[in-house]
Structure 1
Amino acid sequence: MKIVKKKYQTGYSTRSLMIKEFDAILNSVNDLEEFFNGNEKVDINVIPVNSERSKNIVLTEVNKRVRSLANPVFWKLYRDGSSRDKTLILFYATCKAYQLIPDFVIDTVLPKWYNMDYELSSYDFKAFIYRISENHPEFGNFSDKNLNNISAATIKILREVGILKKNTLVKEDYNHQILNEIVSNGDSWFLEVLLLNESERQAIIGQ
């Protein structure tokens, strides 16, 4: 997967994978197809946050990630899946919506993994941002608070999906039905984001 020089979006910095929020919203949807087409609206009162402003922020963020993965099969798998399956699908959707996350994994996390350097922290993400900032002026006006927030959110997401346990990189075993659907969706690059080696990736791609 080639790192693309385009403006990165960082809207996920205020939210991680949002499992509870996705559960609440998708469980309230009667027809997923109609929801994707914009014909079924969500009652924001089902969203488990307090203020109306926060509910609207969550709904906007959920819509962004759902639209980035506008293939109903994944959301049907989500509603029927285990908590680990849900986490995997949400991580995939978040990577689709926010190129910064997979680019960080490909640029920084994978080299560490292949070199058997399994320690990862927010400092690695900050170093990645500093390294790419010359070609990405959107980070030029980042305050220390902004950088801390996006770094913490990225590390939290990797922990939620199981790639990171405390500060140690690990490789999880994921549902192959979902991985096969991801490959069929044209995103075999995502297997590398999950730290799968070439033979493991080829075994899934060849199924």
Structure 2
Amino acid sequence: MRRLAGIFLLSSLAMSGQAAAEPPVPDIKALVDDAFIAQTREWLANPIVPLSINAQNELRGNLSQAEIDALDQQWVTERESNDKPLISATLSAPLSIYLLRVQAKTLGLYTEIFVMDANGLNVGQSSITGDYWQGDEAKFQKTFPNGANAVFLDEPEWDGDRKIWVAQLNLTIADETAKPIGAATVEVNLTELARRAAPAS
């Protein structure tokens, strides 16, 4: 019985330690404010972004849902395969290289960036996403269909592996005529953003 009690006590201490390791949820609206969103739109305005989206919209603009589903399934299958033609083509695209450089320059502030076309299919990304089609998710449904200035800020999530709070900033991307052509998702390291925003001691 003492051994069981000891195991239970150790387990309880471990669980309480894990709970203590999770800090309070950051004030996402205070951190990801209008200035932060405007700064994000600035680097998304680089010509490589609309050029890449428009090129894919021309290539895949008239896909049926069945064709979209097939591409998405191909992506998921390739993630577990040694042969990755679709994933390799996307990750080696100029837009993906640009997004990777943007992410690297932030020194940990961005943890993932990807850009979608008018179908919600990935055009470029800084790392391999779980799927290729985002059109059935809020990141796309709450931005692209809602106009050029649409912004959707998702709820913060605790990343237990990296011990950081993250949240996705999602925006519509439009052309020079303010016509929506795609959308972008930027996953922000809220823990790092809060650290940078804190007054110097």
Q: Provide the TM-score with structure 2 as the length reference.
A: 0.27
Quick one: higher RCO (CA 8 Å, sep 6+), 1 or 2? Answer: 1
State the TM-score, normalized to the length of structure 1. 0.26
> Which structure shows the bigger proportion of residues in helix conformation?
1
Higher strand share: 2
